[in-house]
Structure formats: structure tokens, C-alpha cells
Structure 1
Amino acid sequence: MTLEQSSFGILDGGMGRLLERLGAPFKLPEWSALSLIEAPDYVTQAHQAYVDSGADIITTNSYGLVPHMLGEERFASDGLTLADRAGRLAREVADRATRLVLVAGSLPPPFESYRPDLFEIGAAPPIIENLVAGLRPHVDLWLIETQSSTVEALTSLAAVIGDGKPIYVSYTLKDEDGRTGPAELRSGEPVGEAVRKTLGAGAEGIFFNCSQPEVMGEAIRAARRVANEMGSSFSIGVYANAFAPEPPSDAPYAGISDIRADLDPQNYLKWIERWLADGATIVGGCCGIGPEHIDAIRSLRQNREAARRHN
């Protein structure tokens, strides 16, 4: 089965806020990694909630398994074990499902999210390789997510390019209030250029995540223009967050962001429909988007498929 055997594929939603809602241990700087360390049953509950809501793909809870969130000492001593645990928990839930559910191995920015200026190309590979080693036995595909620049993304891609699993790279976009014009990565690179570089390096699809819904459409259209120019097809995925725009900061983990009131499931579904019309083939949610949103997306797909069969 490919990710797009149905009319469109459904990715899961955000992990951290769902863990918080479930009552799991949750604080900064560990974020979602704290539950993995102290109460992994909550991680299983979160994965199960997304499978029950209709997700075709669940993402390993490995986003926080990096030194600046775990701490250098804990990463060195426990990082590999925690990555293995994150992969195993997702695999167990996927394997219990009564339908095919794929596990995506999350490879996050090895340094700060949204901060391409802090990326250290020489220091990144050992961090990434530790995550890959723990996750590899359990995952069906790689999701290199919330990447702010192509050099950040391609460094992670190089760590997994030869293992035979599909690789999807997901970029986060500039999303200031009222932003207009061409879509750009947080590094300032145009999306079209990033798509060409990333596909050329071996990715099988391009996603956009952890940005405001308002900026996703232009990014999808830019990716689709590249597909048309290349005469090829590739997966285009979108999973927006529900945060207010957050400019770069010297203290990105100073507090937990507020959730927008206007991105309830039905309002988020309106964005999903626009993204599908623009050319997205896989949709889901990032921070603040939960199982109720994924359930609404499943209903949309069921209704579309029922209408197609009827016609």
C-alpha cells in the first residue's frame, strides 16, 4: 500500500498537547519526551487515539529526543534507548490496528526549532545517527520534520538515504501575521528551490508543517509547480499547527504557546479542503491539532469516497 491508496492519506496530529490533555507528565524543556521517560503508557494512549480517529500514519514520539531538550548528559546516556522506545511504542499500536497503519520515524531539528541560524553542520550527524539507530527497526518511513533550511534537512536525509525506507522531508515556513507573497522557509529560501534540492537529494515527498494554516496554500502551489516543471509526481503533505505566529527568539522554550480559538475541527477542516484542492495528497495536524481534528478529516474522506462510488 502506498500512502495515497485512498483519495488522500491521513497523518496523525500533534503529540505534546495531546499528552498534556491526557494528564501525562509534560513540561519544558523536555516537552513530549518527558512522558516517554516517566510514563510511556501515555504515549501509547496518544498513538491509539490517533489510530482510532482515522490516521493512516502515526509519528514516533521522538521530536524531543535531542540534547537541547533532554540535556547533553541524558542524551548521551539514554538517547538511543529512548529512541528505541519511541519507535517500539508506535510500532505496537500500529501492529494492533485492524487496518494498515504506517509508522513514520520523526527526525526533528537536532538543535532549536525555527532557528536555522543555530544549525551546526559538523555537530548534527551524531545526534541524527543516534535517533536513526533507535528508530530504524520499528518504522516504515522517515519523516524529517520541522526543518527550517535545506542544509538542515539534507543533513538528516543523508543519514537515512541508503536504508530502503521512503523519506519525506517536511519544512516549516515563515508565517508572520498578514504575510503575503512567495512561500519561504524560515531560512528565507524560496519553497520552489527547496523542493528541487530536496527531491534531487532523494526525498520521495515534500511536506509542510508547524506553521500557520494561512501560509500553507502558497507552499503547496509552489511544490506543485515544481512537479509540473519536472514532469514528475511526488507526495505533498501538510500538517499545520494551531499556534499564533512565533518569531525567532533567544529563548524559544520560555513558555508554552497559546492555541488559536479559531482552529476547532470544523474550521481546520476548511483549510484541509483548500489544501487538497491545491494539490496536497497527505494531510494531518501539528501542535495543537488533536484526534478530534483527525476524525473530522476521516469523515471528509469517507464522504468523498462514498460520493465517488455513488457516481
Structure 2
Amino acid sequence: MRFDKFFEAPYPLILDGGLSNVLESFGCDLNHRLWTAQLLANSPETIIEAHLEYLKAGAQCIITSSYQASIPGLMDMGYSRDMAVKLILKSVLLAEAAVDDVMDSGIVNVKPLIAASIGPYGAYLADGSEYHGNYGVSDKVLRDFHEERIGILNSSNADILACETIPSIQEARILSDILYQVDKPAWVSFSCKDGQHVNDGSKIEDCVSIFRDHPTVFAVGLNCTSPLYISGLIQRIKASSGDKRIIVYPNSGEAYNAESKTWRGLSEPGHFVEMSKEWVKLGADIIGGCCRIGPGHIKSISSNFSKGKS
């Protein structure tokens, strides 16, 4: 099954960039176990403003603030189960509000898509575990963690389910099973430690091949991965993913310190537009950015690729 009908704009489809860096630029303190998800309850209007930054920059698809908004994570912070469900759904409502704003204002002519973020189990742990993927937990633990939230977001008005920053083949297999039950199209993007392996050491080819014939997963690819590795990884993914769309939204190449929840190092993608041109030539269909990639980057690639779209 193909889901091209969801995309009115020609490829490449332009995603947004990192939500956290925009929120931090607004003065938000994200040093919190729930990261950006804390703002769902405390400052929802700020999330709308962050989405608007990317929509005004040309993003054709925005990703919700639900990456770290899981049922157990929210309940650990004192929310009831009912309130946790409402906050997860609220992440989609806030994205819808931003989309409605740009449509009503006439800034864009084609309605942008909304992808509901589904972060990995490591995001719930909030200790940087998604950067190694070796959780040491059973398949049941992972299934119980993911299944309810995916069901909640599948019932929302989001256009796409975005399973992102997946660091292990174990988690990929669990997600594959769960995604057979959904009605919405989904993408699965992996976080890789080098040009050949996801963070747990599994080969990227083995991970994406799980979804080669999957009926609801329309795209596979990469996010929260250094831009230095993207070109080589695209070629490996393309050889193993059949006719799936390829999605890439790398980070800036900086290093994240999970203890202090800060980024260190120099930003590497100084020529983000040139890199994105190469990625498209190699087969990338959907392009954006992850951590530390901001509206300026998205505006640049949007402007570049819009020149070739009719």
C-alpha cells in the first residue's frame, strides 16, 4: 500500500527542524524529565509559536511535541492516566492550531501535514539511552510502552505516525508488529552511530528491511544522526527498503550531554543546502532537520527545492 495521496506537494517533502532549539531560543528551560513535553501543560502557546516558525520557513510537515510524552512518563510526573492521554492528544491539537493559523493568514496555499512524534523507549528513561539503544528490557516491556500511545495518536487528527530516533533492532521489530494495527501511514527513522550501524550496533540494512513490505509504513530513514553519515546511509537504506520513501532529518553534528541536557561542540552542517541536494540525488524523498537544525536551515532548503517545483 502506498500513501502518496497524503502528499499534495511534489517531492522532496520538506520537514521542520528541531523543536527544542526554537523553544530554547524563546527562553524556555527544557532541563526537565519531560523535555519539550512539559510545555504541553505549562506553556502550550509557546509550542504553537515554535511550530509557526517552521511553517513560515516553508516546512510542509511539522512534527508534534509528543516525542517524550508517554503515558508512563507523564504518570511518573504526577498526571493521571486520563490527563496523560489528553496531553498526548493536545500535542496534535497544538500543531493543528499552527496549521490553521498559516492557512487562515494565506502564508501557505497547500495545507501542511502533521506527523505525530513517537519517541523511543530511551526517551522515556530520559538518560540518553536512545543514543545507545541497549535497554536491557524484554519485548513485552517495549510493547507495553509503545502500544497504548500509538493507539492514542492513531485516533487523533495527525496525518502520519512518526516513529523516530529508533536506536535498536529490537525496538524496530516491536514497532513493526504494532504498526500492523494502525490506520494511518507511518514512517520509521533510525538514529545511527556511524555510516553503517544504528546506535545499538545493528546494521542499518537489517533494520530497514523489517519494513520492506510493511503495509502501513510508507517511509524509512534516519534522524538524530550526524550529517556526515547521511549520504552513505541513504545508499544502504535504498538497497534494502524496496519501494519505501526515504526520509532523512539529521541533527547538526553537535554532541548531547544527557546529564546536563545541553549541546556541546561546533555545528557541522554549514552547507546544509548543498548536503540536502546530494541527499536528494542519492534518493531521499523527505528532508528536514533534528536537534540544532533551526528555521533558518529549513527556510534555505525550502527555498532551494521550491525553485524546481511547479
Q: Which of the five TM-score ranges fits, normalised by the shorter chain?
A: 0.7 to 0.9
Q: Which residue of 1 aligns with 2:47?
A: 43
Q: Which runs of 5+ in 1 are unaligned?
A: 176-181
Structure 2 matches for 1:221-236, cutoff 5 A? Answer: 221-227=235-241, 232-236=242-246
Aligned pair count? 290
Amino acid in structure 1 at the alignment position of 2:205 = G
Amino acid in structure 2 at the alignment position of 1:81 = K
Q: Does the alignment pair 1:118 with 2:118? A: no
Structure 2 matches for 1:1-311, cutoff 5 A? Answer: 1-3=5-7, 5-66=9-70, 70=74, 72-74=76-78, 77=81, 78-98=83-103, 99-111=110-122, 112-118=129-135, 120=137, 121-136=139-154, 137-175=156-194, 183-202=196-215, 203-227=217-241, 232-245=242-255, 252-258=258-264, 260-264=266-270, 267-305=271-309
Using the TM superposition, give the Cα deviation of residue 119 of structure 1 relative to its aligned residue in structure 2, in angstroms.
Answer: 5.4
In 1, distance between residues paired with 2:43 and 2:189? Answer: 28
Determine if contact 1:103/1:141 at 8 Å carries over to the other structure: yes
Using the TM superposition, give the Cα deviation of residue 104 of structure 1 relative to its aligned residue in structure 2, in angstroms.
Answer: 0.5
Q: Which residue of 1 aligns with 2:106?
A: none
Give the TM-score normalised by the residue count of structure 1: 0.85
Give the TM-score normalised by the residue count of structure 2: 0.85
Determine if contact 2:64/2:95 at 8 Å carries over to the other structure: yes
In 2, distance between residues paired with 1:91 and 1:259? Answer: 34
In 1, distance between residues paired with 2:174 and 2:213? Answer: 13
What SS does the corresponding residue of 2:240 show, helix, strand or coil? helix
In 2, distance between residues paired with 1:28 and 1:258? Answer: 18
Using the TM superposition, give the Cα deviation of residue 238 of structure 1 relative to its aligned residue in structure 2, in angstroms.
Answer: 0.6
In 2, distance between residues paired with 1:75 and 1:33? Answer: 13
Using the TM superposition, give the Cα deviation of residue 257 of structure 1 relative to its aligned residue in structure 2, in angstroms.
Answer: 1.3
CA shift digits 1:254-310 (9 cap, x unpaired): 33112634434xx221211111111101100000111111110111112223xxx6x
Q: Which residue of 2 aligns with 1:178?
A: none
Determine if contact 1:82/1:134 at 8 Å carries over to the other structure: no
Amino acid in structure 1 at the alignment position of 2:135 = L
Q: Which residue of 2 aligns with 1:179?
A: none
Determine if contact 2:209/2:240 at 8 Å carries over to the other structure: yes
What SS does the corresponding residue of 1:285 show, helix, strand or coil? coil
In 1, distance between residues paired with 2:74 and 2:182? Answer: 27
Determine if contact 2:72/2:145 at 8 Å carries over to the other structure: no
Relative distance call for 1:127 and 1:81 in structure 2 (3 A) is farther
In 2, distance between residues paired with 1:281 and 1:96? Answer: 27
Amino acid in structure 1 at the alignment position of 2:145 = I
Relative distance call for 1:75 and 1:234 in structure 2 (3 A) is farther
CA shift digits 1:124-145 (9 cap, x unpaired): 2333234224423121111100
Amino-acid identity (%): 24
CA shift digits 1:168-208 (9 cap, x unpaired): 10000013xxxxxx511112111112111122444221120
In 1, distance between residues paired with 2:255 and 2:49? Answer: 29
Determine if contact 1:242/1:259 at 8 Å carries over to the other structure: no
Determine if contact 1:173/1:186 at 8 Å carries over to the other structure: yes
Using the TM superposition, give the Cα deviation of residue 68 of structure 1 relative to its aligned residue in structure 2, in angstroms.
Answer: 8.0
What SS does the corresponding residue of 2:205 show, helix, strand or coil? helix
4+ runs of 1 displaced by more than 4 Å?
A: 67-71
- C-alpha RMSD over aligned residues: 2.3
